[in-house]
């Protein structure tokens, strides 16, 4: 017997028309989609009028919340002035030039040129192509493999999904493709061995990386790609000293480090860039999401001068630089990127994140005491609450139990939109959230966890 309420007209139209990403399609008609109608500040409202705190900034991206009038005005002005143009064939336009200048200004390492894409996936896809192009230019045609990590998330295009180290991005998709290698995930709680300190864990997995490079051949490896804090893999914060040790290994073999800042960038961790919070020194950088505060799609790749010169040399040899996207550097997205960075600077959004980070940390530490929670990890205003069947042994729930998605649904009932990444509940609220709103978000989370504990007990999913 179906106990779910009948779908509304708009829900029916949705399931009849849309193919939803990252959704259990076999359950969508049964559960019905949550159709969001409007947003203001950190809140969104569905078509039934229910209010939610958008505790994930949409998809880690709406850093300034919803309904920011300065961004609406910037978009309107740009649409009236130049609604579209491109950068092909040496064409230029003021919004793309200005945004590239701003990115160079705030970059964590010296940057010479910015290449625009339409998304983070395209940016990381481009990073791989550029690494191959560079090594061809330098006369190193075998130096093409890319190292990523288990539980990494770098996108969903064929190459970026291959870089991603999550099973659901590979199963059924004939991925990963060749030239992609995966090394250890730097998650001490889940992968540290019995009796192993964090420092010993770090040394072991860095040696594993070094061994992988030696086994494959350093002359075959072009780059390693890494998110400073691993977002969609479960908000995994690597141990102190991890990136410094990784960089030493990479430098010894002339392997570049690609910094995927798509989730971390633009203040989320309490610095402009996640690499600055985690002690990571990148060679090149990918950015997207909060670059426009999510008000328009846009991604970017930032490269240093010596790498850019290799592109110039190869362009001279071939006759052109044969890569680009129709909407890469779209004037609307670039204008919004310029305005978003201006707002981050003028309103000291990074200072606001730093001010709220201790509040966020204290509430995460409190959540960590809950019987269902194995670990609550965080950096700045992003966090992950890992649910476990047995707190003492760290035993996870059977994935078939669907605990994480069920808890996310329970939380929606309490008016908190958070994201289940397996059995980790991710938090990434808009960076403009107030202390009172942040407190309310955690209050709703704790109410949801209480209900979830009762549901888990009733379903018999805990050890007796």
pLDDT score at 30 = 87
Please report which confidence band the pLDDT of residue 1 belongs to, taking 50, 70 and 90 as the band edges: very low
Indicate if the pLDDT at residue 329 is higher than 60.
yes
Classify 70 as helix, strand or coil: helix
How much of the chain, in percent, has pLDDT values that exceed 90?
95
Which residues contact residue 309 at a Cβ distance below 8 angstroms, ignoring those fewer than 6 apart?
A: none
Average pLDDT over the chain reads 96
Separation CA 383–CA 4 (nearest Å) = 32
What b-and-e string marks burial along 355-382, b requiring 16 or more CB atoms within 10 Å of the CB? ebbeebbebbeebbebebbbbbbbbbbb
Q: Give per-residue pLDDT as tens, 405-437.
A: 999 999 999 999 999 999 999 999 999 999 999
Please report which confidence band the pLDDT of residue 5 belongs to, taking 50, 70 and 90 as the band edges: confident
What average pLDDT score do residues 67-73 get? 98
Strand pairing class (36-40; 43-46) = antiparallel
pLDDT score at 3 = 59
Q: Give per-residue pLDDT as tens, 271-286.
A: 999 999 999 999 999 9
Which residues contact residue 362 at a Cβ distance below 8 angstroms, ignoring those fewer than 6 apart?
A: none
Q: Is CATH 3.90.1150.10 correct for 34-67+348-459?
A: yes
What average pLDDT score do residues 168-174 get? 95
Classify 183 as helix, strand or coil: strand
Strand order in the sheet with 43-46: 36-40, 43-46, 51-54, 416-417
Separation CA 464–CA 462 (nearest Å) = 6
Q: Give per-residue pLDDT as tens, 179-215.
A: 999 999 999 999 999 999 999 999 999 999 999 999 9
Please report which confidence band the pLDDT of residue 2 belongs to, taking 50, 70 and 90 as the band edges: low
In terms of Cβ atoms closer than 10 Å to its own Cβ (0-12, 13-18, 19+), residue 346 is exposed
Which residues contact residue 397 at a Cβ distance below 8 angstroms, ignoring those fewer than 6 apart?
A: 387, 388, 389, 403, 423, 461
Classify 324 as helix, strand or coil: coil
pLDDT score at 31 = 84
For domain 70-346, which architecture applies?
3-Layer(aba) Sandwich (3.40)
Q: Which helix (H) or strand (E) holds 450?
A: helix 435-459
By C-alpha distance, which of 429, 437, 442 is closest to 373? 442
Separation CA 137–CA 179 (nearest Å) = 18
Q: Give per-residue pLDDT as tens, 227-259.
A: 999 999 999 999 999 999 999 999 999 999 999
For the chain, the structural domain boundaries read: 34-67+348-459, 70-346
Q: Give per-residue pLDDT as tens, 286-299.
A: 999 999 999 999 99
Q: Give per-residue pLDDT as tens, 29-49.
A: 888 999 999 999 999 999 999
Separation CA 151–CA 146 (nearest Å) = 15
Indicate if the pLDDT at residue 391 is higher than 70.
yes
How much of the chain, in percent, has pLDDT values that exceed 70?
99
What average pLDDT score do residues 373-394 get? 97
Pick the range with the lowest mean pLDDT from 4-18, 76-90, 132-146.
4-18
Strand pairing class (51-54; 221-226) = unpaired
By C-alpha distance, which of 252, 226, 272, 220 is closest to 109? 272
pLDDT score at 275 = 98
pLDDT score at 462 = 78
**372 DSSP 8-state letter:** T
By C-alpha distance, which of 197, 149, 402, 447 is closest to 387? 402
CB contact at 8 A, 197 and 241: no
What predicted TM-score, i.e. pTM, was given to this entire model? 0.96
């Amino acid at each position: 017997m179906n106990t779910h309420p009948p779908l509304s007209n708009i829900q029916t139209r949705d399931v009849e028309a849309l193919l939803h990403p990252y959704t259990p399609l076999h359950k969508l008609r049964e559960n019905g989609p949550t159709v969001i109608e409007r947003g203001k500040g950190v809140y969104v409202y569905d078509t039934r009028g229910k209010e939610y705190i958008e505790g994930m900034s949409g998809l880690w991206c709406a850093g300034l919340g919803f309904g920011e009038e300065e961004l609406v005005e910037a978009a309107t002005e740009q649409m009236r002035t130049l609604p579209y143009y491109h950068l092909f064939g040496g064409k230029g336009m003021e919004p793309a030039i200005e945004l590239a200048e701003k990115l160079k200004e705030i970059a964590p390492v010296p940057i010479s040129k910015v290449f625009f894409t339409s998304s983070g996936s395209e940016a990381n896809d481009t990073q791989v192509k550029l690494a191959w192009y560079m090594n061809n230019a330098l006369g190193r045609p075998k130096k093409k493999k890319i190292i990523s990590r288990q539980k990494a998330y770098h996108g969903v295009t064929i190459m970026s999904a291959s870089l991603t180290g999550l099973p659901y991005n590979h199963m059924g998709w004939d991925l990963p493709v060749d030239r992609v290698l995966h090394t250890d995930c730097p998650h001490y709680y889940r992968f540290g061995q019995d009796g192993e300190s964090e420092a010993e864990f770090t040394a072991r997995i860095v040696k594993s990386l070094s061994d992988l490079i030696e086994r494959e051949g350093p002359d075959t490896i072009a780059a390693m790609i890494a998110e400073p804090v691993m977002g969609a893999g479960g908000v995994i914060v690597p141990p102190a000293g991890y990136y410094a040790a990784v960089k030493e290994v990479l430098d010894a073999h002339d392997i570049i480090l690609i910094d995927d800042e798509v989730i971390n960038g633009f203040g989320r961790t309490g610095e402009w860039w996640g690499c600055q919070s985690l002690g990571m020194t990148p060679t090149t950088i990918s950015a997207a999401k909060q670059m426009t505060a999510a008000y328009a799609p846009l991604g970017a790749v930032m490269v240093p001068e010596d790498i850019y010169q290799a592109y110039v040399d190869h362009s001279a040899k071939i006759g052109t630089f044969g890569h680009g996207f129709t909407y890469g550097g779209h004037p609307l997205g670039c204008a919004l990127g310029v305005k978003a960075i201006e707002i981050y600077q003028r309103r000291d959004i990074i200072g606001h994140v730093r001010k709220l980070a201790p509040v966020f940390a204290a509430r995460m530490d409190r959540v960590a005491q809950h019987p269902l929670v194995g670990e609550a990890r965080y950096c700045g205003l992003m966090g992950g609450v890992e649910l476990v069947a047995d707190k003492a042994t760290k035993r996870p729930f059977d994935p078939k139990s669907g605990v994480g998605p069920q808890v996310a649904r329970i939380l929606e009932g309490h008016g908190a939109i958070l994201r289940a990444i397996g059995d980790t509940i991710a938090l990434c609220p808009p960076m403009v959230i107030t202390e009172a709103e942040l407190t309310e978000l955690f209050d709703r989370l704790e109410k949801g966890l209480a209900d979830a504990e009762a549901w888990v007990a009733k379903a018999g999913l805990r050890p007796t």
